[in-house]
Amino acid sequence: MMKAVVYRNEGLVFEETPKPVPKADHVLVQLANAGFCGSDHSMIVYKYVADGSILGHEVSGTVVEVGSNVDQSWIDSHVNVRPTYCGKCKYCLAGRMTLCNVNRISLGKGEFNGGFAEYLLAYPSMLIQ
């Protein structure tokens, strides 16, 4: 289990949630910092987020675990996590990562939960060392 700030219909709530487990192509980042952005605020105010979601996409931390297909050298790396980035689509290749259409998203919508928690899953391509 881990501690997280979770969106509930009544607002943000501090609670215990299951600690994520990396799949073969994932890394697990133990978070050290998370910023509360205008995007987070808008998602809450305008209810663009589902009940039970963990927001937060301006995050940094340390890689503590990697999936079986990920290079072990990532472990103990201090990283920032890009909230949207596949590194392969036309938008990422053009430097317009916020338009990434692969849906590798870590802001409470998309494939991963956001960073208002102790741990976050990501793909190595989303990390900046």
pLDDT on residue 83: 85
Q: Which of 51-55, 68-72, 101-105, 122-126 has the highest mean pLDDT?
A: 68-72
2-128 to CATH, choices 3.30.499.10, 3.30.450.70, 3.60.15.10, 3.90.180.10: 3.90.180.10
Reduced to 3 states (helix: H, G, I; strand: E, B; else coil), residue 99 is helix
For the segment 20-43, the average pLDDT, to the nearest whole number, is 94
pLDDT at residue 103 above 80? Answer: no
Per-residue confidence at 84, pLDDT binned at 50, 70, 90? confident
Q: Higher model confidence: residue 38 or residue 118?
A: 118
pLDDT at residue 23 above 70? Answer: yes
What is the number of helices (H) and of strands (E) in the chain?
A: 2, 7
Reduced to 3 states (helix: H, G, I; strand: E, B; else coil), residue 77 is coil
Other C-beta atoms lying within 10 Å of the C-beta of residue 70? 20
pLDDT on residue 115: 93
pLDDT at residue 107 above 90? Answer: no
